[in-house]
Amino acid sequence: MHASKKIVVTGGAGYIGAHTVVELMNAGYEVVVIDNLVNSDMTLITGIEKITGKKINFHKGDCRDKTFLTNLFRTESIAGVMHFAALKAVGESVQKPLEYHENNISSLITVLQVMREQKVKDFIFSSSCTVYGQPDNIPVDEHAPFKKAESPYGLTKQICEQILEDVYKTGFRIISLRYFNPIGAHPSALIGEMPIGTPNNLVPYITQTAAGWRDKLIVFGNDYNTPDGSCVRDFIHVVDLAEAHVKALAWLQATKTTALYEVFNVGTGNGVSVLQLVNAFIRKTGAKLPFRIGPRRPGDVEKVYANPEKINRMMNWKPRYTPEDALVHAWAWQQKLSR
């Protein structure tokens, strides 16, 4: 057993990291949050403090800054790392490929170097279903091969996973979690998604449109080979995703193996179309949501959803919330932001 229950969460001021910090604290872990606030501010940290009633051990700094990380790891007794910090906007990555490669890959390498020097072995990485591209078989399981990445962002996730596959053999215990489409907010409405500028992702675009911040939602295409013609995704509540991280960490800490690398899909296993989600939002919230059908968005895959059997079986993880719950929670969070 580890004497310390202190976990470093990089990117913990961001959307998924913040929800995971809450679940880690609920499970009795101590958390040290690192974030350079490049895509966030202190709002979610304040929200976590309200939910948990505890002060957050927050350090503003960059994962590429080895001196900063080394000092932190020397002063705190760290049992493991959850690495969320990354740039994540698919479209922006096409405009700024070097920034994406530099940030996402250098961050990973620097964190791993410091972990090796400070003898910290347990590591959980934020990967993505984007590594699959459009898979040949759906639901997609972890054995499906990587397809050519659709974007520099997607390529950073493939490269990071390949780095981890090399590195674990030197004595790390690593899990990559391949998230499908995280949506929703904490049921307290104290933390949620806070995109800077125009949202790229569907659910914040829906809630901002319903709140009157945007004129109209455009549904990107209704001529796909799917039941209603719109794209199909596996939408997973962000709190369920956060709980998957806690289960993954507990699993890692319970195993005695000195070097391991495991990859898990984190999805519900259900495909839901964009139009189904839009209609569910209108039905569940009663809000007005102006939308129209527009052209396809370049780079979108037609349909993808997870085979989550591996994480169900090995970690006894199953989602507690439905996509409808997530929409209701995202709407409550949006209304709070709108006040």
Catalytic residue numbers, as ranges: 153
- Given the complex with ligand NAD, which of 151 and 273 has the nearer CB atom? 151
Of 240, 227, 207, give the one whose Cα is nearest residue 311: 240
Contact partner at residue 297 from ligand NAD, ligand WQD, none, CB < 5 to 8 Å by partner kind: ligand WQD
* Contact string (CB under 6 A) for ligand WQD, positions 215-234, x = contact: --xxxx----------x-x-
Alpha carbons 330 and 204: distance in angstroms, whole number: 8
Q: Among 7, 8, 9, 11, which residue interacts with ligand NAD (rule: CB under 6 A)?
A: 11
Distance (Å) of CA 241 to CA 225, 237, 317: 29, 6, 10
Question: Distance from CA of residue 33 to its chain's centroid?
Answer: 16
When CB distances are held under 5 to 8 angstroms depending on the partner's kind, the choice from ligand WQD, ligand NAD, none that residue 231 binds is: ligand WQD
Rounded CA separation 130/264 (Å): 13
Least Å distance, CB 107 to ligand WQD, is: 15
- C-alpha 161: how far from its chain's center? 15
Query: Which whole-number Å values give the CA distances from 290 to 218, 273, 306, 338, in the listed order?
Result: 9, 18, 30, 18
Give 64 or 247: the residue with its C-beta nearer to ligand NAD. 64
The partner in contact with residue 62, picked from ligand NAD, ligand WQD, none with C-beta cut-offs of 5 to 8 angstroms by kind, is ligand NAD
Q: Is 214 in the site for ligand WQD (CB under 6 A)?
A: no
| Contact yes or no for 233/305 (Cβ under 8 A) | yes
131 touching ligand NAD, by CB under 6 A: no
User: Is there binding between residue 327 and ligand WQD (CB under 6 A)?
Assistant: no
Say which residues have a Cβ less than 8 Å from residue 40's Cβ, sequence separation at least 6: 13, 14, 194
- Counting residues that bind ligand WQD (by CB under 6 A) gives 18
CA distances from 70 to 17, 61, 107, 110, 173 (A): 21, 12, 13, 10, 20
Can residue 274 be called a binding residue for ligand WQD (CB under 6 A)?
yes
Strands 232-233 and 272-273: antiparallel
128 makes contact with ligand WQD (CB under 6 A): yes
Interaction between residue 36 and ligand NAD (CB under 6 A)? yes
CB of 323 vs ligand NAD, minimal distance in Å: 14
200 forms part of the interface with ligand WQD (CB under 6 A): yes
Instruction: Please tell me the distance from the alpha carbon of residue 183 to that of residue 234, in angstroms, as a whole number.
Output: 10
Q: Which stretch binds ligand NAD (CB under 6 A): 35-43, 259-267, 301-309, 326-334?
A: 35-43
Query: Which helix (H) or strand (E) is 173 found in, with range?
Result: strand 173-179
- Contacts to ligand NAD by CB under 6 A: 10-11, 13-17, 34-40, 62-64, 84-88, 103, 107, 126, 128, 179, 182
- Contacts to ligand WQD by CB under 6 A: 88, 90, 128, 130, 181, 200-202, 205, 217-220, 231, 233, 274, 297, 300
